[in-house]
Amino acid sequence: MSRTASATSSFISILSYQQIHHCVKYVKLTQNIYYGMYTDMNGIGISAPNRTTTVYVFAVIGFVALVGAGMWLAVYSTRYVPSIVNRFGSAAVYLGSVFTPAPSLSVVPTASTTIPFGEASSSISTSITSPAVPPAKHVPVTAGAETSNVFPLGTTTTAVAVPNGLPDLITTINAIGYLATSSANSFVASSTVPAGSRPAVTFTIKNAGTGVSGPWRFSASIPTQTAYIYRSQLQQPLNPGDSIDYTLGFDQANKGAGQTISITANYDHLVTESNFNNNSASATTTILGS
């Protein structure tokens, strides 16, 4: 019996407070049952050795049941508690983008030659005038449609071979600031983020190479309380000279000065480039807290 009690106390010491509470109630109930059984066996004339053996058997059965109950409580707590933490600890990323195609080329005709009429005379003269040439038509560059999405708060593939040269994706951070609302269109440029606001950054990713990029992705390392790295969905292919302007905001940010935001285009090298060294850019900001 002493060994059984010792093993029981060692197992209870590693359980949680709630599990210990239930186990203590169970042990008290088990003790009362044992005491009643012992009294009953004494009353019906069962000898002392037999009583001791019977009580010991029931003690072992109770200990096994106690171990099983503790293991069930441990499994239940590990399944339930993390789900609560994740539900209250998730952050969100707010993303907006505008696609800008490369400037188009205008075809300008060469200057024409005009042969003027000569002075009036009695003789017959002939002159030829080339037809008038309309002015060159300028084709303006029109930005594509703006998109805005909210992604909840995160695969390696083979590189895409593109003929006729290689692309070169360049990342440039334009400004840092914050979002006045939950929309990516509410960006306000500022070196300091007010308390309660969502930090944000505007940046551009451009194809400065000589080939079409094919689909690609970018990542953003943002100073959230859980050190979150946002990884985008597949972005549209960029022709040489094409670019996309992004606005990215987030919540649950770390507080303090020197908070770094880093953007990396083609972070997984999905696209083969002529230069990978200019894919990243970073900036720091000060995030005020309450």
- Could you give the C-alpha distances from 283 to 156, 202, 222, 242, 258, in angstroms and in order? 27, 11, 10, 23, 9
Task: State residue 122's pLDDT score.
Answer: 38
As a three-state string, the secondary structure of 42-83 is: HHCCCCHHHHHHHHHHHHHHHHHHHHHHHHHHHHHHHHHHHH
With bands split at pLDDT 50, 70 and 90, how would you rate the model's confidence at 50?
Answer: low
Reduce the DSSP state of residue 24 to 3 states and report it.
Answer: helix
The answer to whether the beta carbons of residues 207 and 199 sit under 8 Å apart is: no
Q: Which residue has the higher pLDDT, 159 or 12?
A: 159
Nearest alpha-carbon partner for 56 in 38, 68, 83: 38
Question: How do residues 109-150 score in pLDDT, each as one tens digit?
Answer: 333 333 343 444 333 333 444 455 556 555 565 656 666 666
Task: State residue 14's pLDDT score.
Answer: 41
Q: Which CATH class is domain 92-102+139-287?
A: mainly beta
Packing angle of the helix pair 48-89, 2-12 (nearest 10 deg): 10
CB atoms closer than 10 angstroms to residue 184: 24
Q: Is residue 108 predicted with pLDDT exceeding 50?
A: no
Nearest alpha-carbon partner for 182 in 196, 198, 193, 171: 198
Question: How do residues 258-290 score in pLDDT, each as one tens digit?
Answer: 999 999 999 999 999 999 999 999 999 999 985
Burial status of residue 100 (CB atoms within 10 A of its CB: 0-12, 13-18, 19 or more): middle
- Could you give the C-alpha distances from 66 to 25, 62, 71, 155, 245, in angstroms and in order? 11, 6, 9, 45, 62
Residue in the structure block whose two tokens are 């990542």: 219
Question: How do residues 227-263 score in pLDDT, each as one tens digit?
Answer: 789 999 999 999 999 999 999 999 899 999 999 999 9
CB atoms closer than 10 angstroms to residue 223: 21
Tell me which of 152-156, 167-171, 255-259, 278-282 is least confident: 152-156
Ranges of CATH 2.60.40.10 domains, the chain? 92-102+139-287
With bands split at pLDDT 50, 70 and 90, how would you rate the model's confidence at 92?
Answer: confident
* Mean pLDDT calculated for residue range 208-218: 96
Q: Please state, for a pLDDT cut of 90, what percent of the chain lies above it.
A: 39
Task: State residue 228's pLDDT score.
Answer: 85
